[in-house]
Structure 1
Amino acid sequence: MGELKNCPSCGEFFNYTGIREVCNNCALNEEKLYEIVYRFLRKRENRAATVERIVEATGVEETLLHKWVRKGRLQPALFPNLGYPCDNCGSLTTQGKLCKNCTEELKSGLRQFDAAQEFREKVSNHENGTYHTDRK
């Protein structure tokens, strides 16, 4: 059973079942817009179009393009200049929630944290341990 929600596009109530985030009317409208964008991108000269160029040529909102790329309806493998904003810095990415730079930065930070944690554990073990000296 679904839950009653307001459509984020038009504000109307609809039965949200977890499949669509918008009401049926807005979903139909989005599907029409998707067809317009897809027809535009299928033309050879438009395959390398940027998000800004697609918005300019079709009138479709940038957020819808990002949504379709994120869901895999428009694939960057076929249309190389498509993407959606990184959740951290806003630069375009084609997979996951973070761009490559932010992912590497996060991994680097985690490596530094792990190294610091390891160092703290070694220091802690030496403070609690017994030391032996070699006296002759």
Structure 2
Amino acid sequence: MAELRNCPSCGEFFNYTGVRDVCYNCVQKEEELYQIVYKFLRKRENRAATVERIVEATGVQEELLYKWVRKNRLQPAMFPNLGYPCDNCGRLTTKGKLCDQCADELKSDLRTFEAAKEFRANIAKSERGTYLSERNK
């Protein structure tokens, strides 16, 4: 079922169905901009262009480039210097929400937490051990 929303780009009302996040007119404008960027990147000398270079040459906003990379319309395998910002640190990444460094750091923190939790459980278990009283001697 469609939901009535305001387009984040132009402010017009549109039926949001979960497929597109902007109105029809803005989708058309984005598609025209995508074709400009794609035509620019298809040239051999531009395939290794950075996000900043693409913005400078085509006039497209960085957020649109990031959106297209996230949706795999512009694939980092074909254009190696493209990516989108990590949700944690802002470094460019090509998969997931976190860059490799932040993901590794998170995994390390989780391993440390699990080891500390296991250590505390072992301490608690050993404190519940059997104690000898004077009567049992």
TM range (shorter): over 0.9
C-alpha displacement of 1:118: 0.4
Measured against aligned partners, the alpha-carbon deviations of 1:52-107 in whole angstroms (never above 9, x if no partner) come to: 00000000000000000001000000000000000000000000000011000000
Partner secondary structure for residue 98 of structure 1? coil
Corresponding residue for residue 98 of structure 1: 98
Corresponding residue for residue 51 of structure 1: 51
Q: TM-score, normalised by structure 1?
A: 0.95
Partner secondary structure for residue 22 of structure 2? coil
Corresponding residue for residue 113 of structure 2: 113
Corresponding residue for residue 65 of structure 1: 65
Corresponding residue for residue 16 of structure 2: 16
Give the distance between the partners of 1:24 and 1:55, measured in 2 at CA: 24
C-alpha displacement of 1:129: 2.0
Number of paired residues? 132
Aligned-residue CA RMSD in angstroms?
A: 0.9
Give the distance between the partners of 1:125 and 1:57, measured in 2 at CA: 65
What are the ranges of 5 or more consecutive residues in structure 1 without an aligned counterpart? none
C-alpha displacement of 1:131: 5.6
Q: Does 1:5 align with 2:1?
A: no
Give the distance between the partners of 1:2 and 1:28, measured in 2 at CA: 20
Partner secondary structure for residue 5 of structure 2? strand
C-alpha displacement of 1:128: 1.1
Partner secondary structure for residue 26 of structure 1? helix
Corresponding residue for residue 77 of structure 1: 77
What are the ranges of 5 or more consecutive residues in structure 2 without an aligned counterpart? 133-137
Give the distance between the partners of 2:131 and 2:96, measured in 1 at CA: 50
Percentage of pairs with the same residue: 74
Give the distance between the partners of 2:82 and 2:91, measured in 1 at CA: 12
Q: TM-score, normalised by structure 2?
A: 0.94
